Amino acid sequence: MQLNDTALGSVAKPARYTGGEWNMIQKDPAKVDVRFALVLPDVYDVGMSNLGLKILYGILNERTDTYAERAYCPWPDMEAVMRSSGDLLCSLETHTPLQQFDAVGISLQYEMTYTNILTMLDLGGIPLLAADRSGNDPLVIGGGPCAFNPEPVADFFDCFVIGEGEEIIGEIAAVIAEWNQSGRAGGRPEVLEKLARIQGLYVPAFYHVDYNADGTCAGVKPKRPELSSVIAKRVVADLDGAYFPVRPIVPYLETVHDRIMLELFRGCTRGCRFCQAGVIYRPVRERKPATLMRLAQELTDNTGYDEISLVSLSSADYSCLRELAHSLLAEFAPQRVSLSLPSLRIDSFSIELANEIQKVRRSGLTFAPEAGTQRLRDVINKGVTEADLFEAAGAAFRSGWAGIKLYFMIGLPTETDEDVLAIAELARKVLSLSRNPARCKVSVSVSTFVPKPHTPFQWFAQIPAEEMERRQRLLRGALRDRRISFNWHDAPTSRLEGVFARGDRRLGKTLLEAWRNGARFDGWSEHFRADIWDAAFAASRIDPDFYTVRQRAAHEIMPWTHLTSGVSQEWLAAEWVEAQKGSLTQDCRHADCTGCGVCQDLGVSVIDWRA
């Protein structure tokens, strides 16, 4: 991209495209064997907040033979400028077009960014379809949570990383370096064959998909006998000793998470049955408090941030949280560096802790009951009660908080209108706990449940878009109180997310059709165009309801069955049965093994420094 004052002056937030930020790594491209472009297919403000890419950026750049650079999706105003001028999408470090890199690693965080992937490949001068690329084109590599079902975008990728990237990225770089040093002998097929031998790497071109007469998947099988029929995720066994970036890039503009992100641990075994992350990131592996204190000091020294966010899937479950929080406050509060805890358990201990860590700077409180009734919370294995919520909310109001945000889902398995209306009743009860309800507010945020692969609810039928909207209207009508605000997710967007979450390779043509007709930034409500997608489904002769509102049979082969997180299908199926009975499953972190299989099959263990 040829940066000039005219182009930058015509777009919003030009700092998205300039690079040159604090802690940006600069190398001489002529002195490395491999050049990686690390990509998150969303706008810079979002992409720069992704911890996974920060980790990979650091690991790759610690190698003397590799240079990792960054690229993010241009906002529509910049895309228009680039198409008008003919400029190619470039990296932020050296302003090199993406087509000149050896590999383009794309983080798949959210299904609604899929059209942005095509935008970036096209603007970067890379053929969209993997089958059309030559030996001179970059290898396009996907990773992240959506890589656990990459089939809808398989046509556009050369390979996918299944699992945690820091465990495998060095092996990928080594293969590409060797290939480049050989003069790219054997061309693209040769390097893909070598990559396919790496545990946890999936090359979709080497696998064939069969379909039954009714359109369901009959199987995904390797085309070559030496390839594995099931690809297991890679997992970091010792997170405490794993690399963590202590010199992250500091942007010139405000980003979504404009603060230090200190990862306490990885994984969650609470067993919420709707939660994909709770399955694919198992088992729990904690960092030691001493390690976290050292990282926090280096991060503050190297960035100048005045807030440390303690992040994980369920940060309040860190076994040494109280001691760590006390140590961090003692060290950093005098420097006016605050702490934040993004996720709180619904109990009084969390409020006590929140009071303590927010002495420097107070932010809002968010609790996630997920469902309005205890029956439905038991179905999803949430493991919290109404009494827990009231105790926590009451403690928060008594401690001076004037607002509480409650997060729920609608469309969960077995949900009835009574469950939906109970959300409103629960919000009113929480508000009544305040000593001065007239001055307090409760915010109710409701998303629509989307069944995800590798969860006990992967067989469940998603409710139709019309039913999503009916339940939203039902709840909106029950929340007529100016002290209670109500936010909800757009139904057509949730429907499209559901299509791609459990889709197969046939959706590639739909995705390409929608992109060609202007679909961009589908996760942003101001840019989402349902009419474009409806036309794309019609043109590609794909019925979206096949992927959303259809209940899967227990024996059905899923498009992602050949990819495993280590959690067995038998365990997921048993959890689906328990959900229908409303039975709870214990957290194996503090009780007996529940038999999911991840520790045994992948050779890893739960690491809890309190245990």
pLDDT band, very low/low/confident/very high, at 199 (cuts 50, 70, 90): very high
Q: In what order do the strands lie in the sheet with 403-410?
A: 365-370, 403-410, 441-448, 484-488
pLDDT in tens, 557-596: 999 999 999 999 999 999 999 999 999 999 998 888 999 9
Task: Output the pLDDT for position 345.
Answer: 73
The string of pLDDT tens digits covering residues 109-148 is 999 999 999 999 999 999 999 999 999 999 999 999 999 9
pLDDT tops 80 at residue 357: no
Extract the tokens encoding 296.
Answer: 């926090």
- Structurally, the chain folds into a number of domains equal to 1
Q: Has residue 225 been placed in a domain?
A: yes
In a domain, 27, yes or no: yes
Q: What is the pLDDT of residue 365?
A: 83
Residue 474 resides in a domain: no
Q: What's the pTM?
A: 0.96
Is residue 3 predicted with pLDDT exceeding 90? no
* Nearest to 37, CA basis, from 148, 133, 117, 135: 117
CB 568 within 8 A of CB 594: no
CA distance 268 to 610: 15
Helix, strand, or coil (residue 265): strand
Residue 380 lies in a domain: no
Q: What are phi and psi of 363, to 5 degrees?
A: -120, -175
Dihedral of CA atoms 26, 239, 197, 217 in degrees, nearest 10, equals -110
For 510-575, give the secondary structure using H, E and C: HHHHHHHCCCCCCCCCCCCCHHHHHHHHHHCCCCHHHCCCCCCCCCCECCCCCEECCCCHHHHHHH
- What's the sign of the alpha-carbon dihedral 419, 492, 524, 150? positive
| 592 within domain boundaries | no
Q: Is 28 exposed, middle or buried (0-12, 13-18, 19+ CB in 10 A)?
A: exposed
Least confident of 1-15, 148-162, 272-286, 515-529: 1-15
Q: How far is 177 from 52, CA to CA, in rounded Å?
A: 23
DSSP H helices in 3-107: 5-9, 44-47, 51-62, 76-85
Alpha-carbon distances, residue 381 vs 93, 281, 288, 335 (angstroms) = 46, 18, 29, 41
> Is 376 domain-assigned?
no
Answer yes or no: is 123 within a domain.
yes
Residue 166 is part of a domain; what is its CATH number? Answer: 3.40.50.2300
Q: What would you report as the CA-atom Rg of the chain, rounded to the nearest whole angstrom?
A: 24
Of all residues in the chain, what percent carry a pLDDT higher than 70? 98
The range of the structural domain enclosing residue 169 comes to 5-232
Q: Is 364 part of any domain?
A: no
pLDDT at 89: 97
- DSSP assignment, residue 263? E
8 A C-beta contact, residue 192 and residue 533:
no
- Local structure of 408: helix, strand or coil: strand
